[in-house]
Amino acid sequence: MIEVNLHPAGPKAGRRRRRGGGGFALPFRIRPPAGGAGGTGGRDPWTLAAWGLSAVAVLVIAGLWFSQRGAAGAIERELEEAVADSVRLADLRQLSDSLTSRERAIRDRLGLVRSLDEGRFVWPHLMDEVSAALPAFTWLTAIRASTPLPDLSVQIDGVAANPLAITRFVRNLQASPFISRVRIIGSQQQLVEDVAAQAFKIVVHYRQPSDRDVERVPVGERGT
């Protein structure tokens, strides 16, 4: 700072100039700044550092806020996509459950129809096979079911002229593709209209043959 001395020099000042050896004296003098030689304008360096740190903190907080805002926006978009996917999956699951229920109902109906159809032609096949296997001089008196389907067993009661006719009847039954496990459970002699005959009881089991089994033994060749 420059300070100018506007007062005129007095006699003492003139004597000081003469005593100084004729040197030149300025009418003003320079003072150092009020804050000292550092030129900080009277402010402490720690204060300036605090202001600088505050500015840096403000910038850092602003950057974090913007970054957090961007992250929150990304999370909201992901959440919306997840909700949309959840709704779509819920619709697909509902459709799948509906299709599964429909498939189960169709399967139950098919099972009912199959169970009704399984025994539809059992007895016609069985009666046809027994009739085709019956040899000459052999008569049947009763045919009854012993056990139901699916493991159907049938008892056949009859009368034959002799034991040889019973043996032939058993062999013909064993050759049938619809009959299995043929066994004689009883045989005894008795009079039929004053004629000696052989009464018998036979148990057979019904089985579902394959197409090759049916073609292997033609119907016309059985019972001979």
pLDDT digits (tens, 9 = 90+) for 127-136: 999 999 999 9
Q: How would residue 218 be classed by pLDDT, with cut points 50, 70 and 90?
A: very low
Q: Is the pLDDT of residue 224 over 50?
A: no
Sequential DSSP letters for 23-59: ----SEEEPPPTT-TT--TT--HHHHHHHHHHHHHHH
Residue with the larger pLDDT of the pair 153 and 36 = 153
DSSP-H helix ranges across the chain: 11-19, 45-118, 122-133, 163-174, 211-216
Sheet-wide strand order for 138-147: 138-147, 153-160, 195-206, 179-192
Is the pLDDT confidence value at 115 over 80?
no
Which residue would you say has higher pLDDT here, 163 or 111?
163
Structure tokens at 16: 């000081």
Q: Give the predicted TM-score (pTM) of the model.
A: 0.47
pLDDT-based confidence at residue 123 (cuts at 50, 70, 90): confident
Q: How confident is the model at residue 11 (pLDDT cuts 50, 70, 90)?
A: low
CA-CA distance, 224 to 220, in Å (whole number)? 9
> Over the stretch 153-179, which tens digit does the pLDDT of each residue have?
999 999 999 999 999 999 999 999 999
**In whole angstroms, what is the distance from residue 143 CA to residue 156 CA?**
5
> What tens digit of pLDDT does each residue of 71-98 get?
777 888 888 888 888 888 888 888 888 8
| Percent of all residues in the chain with a pLDDT value above 70, rounded to a whole number | 72
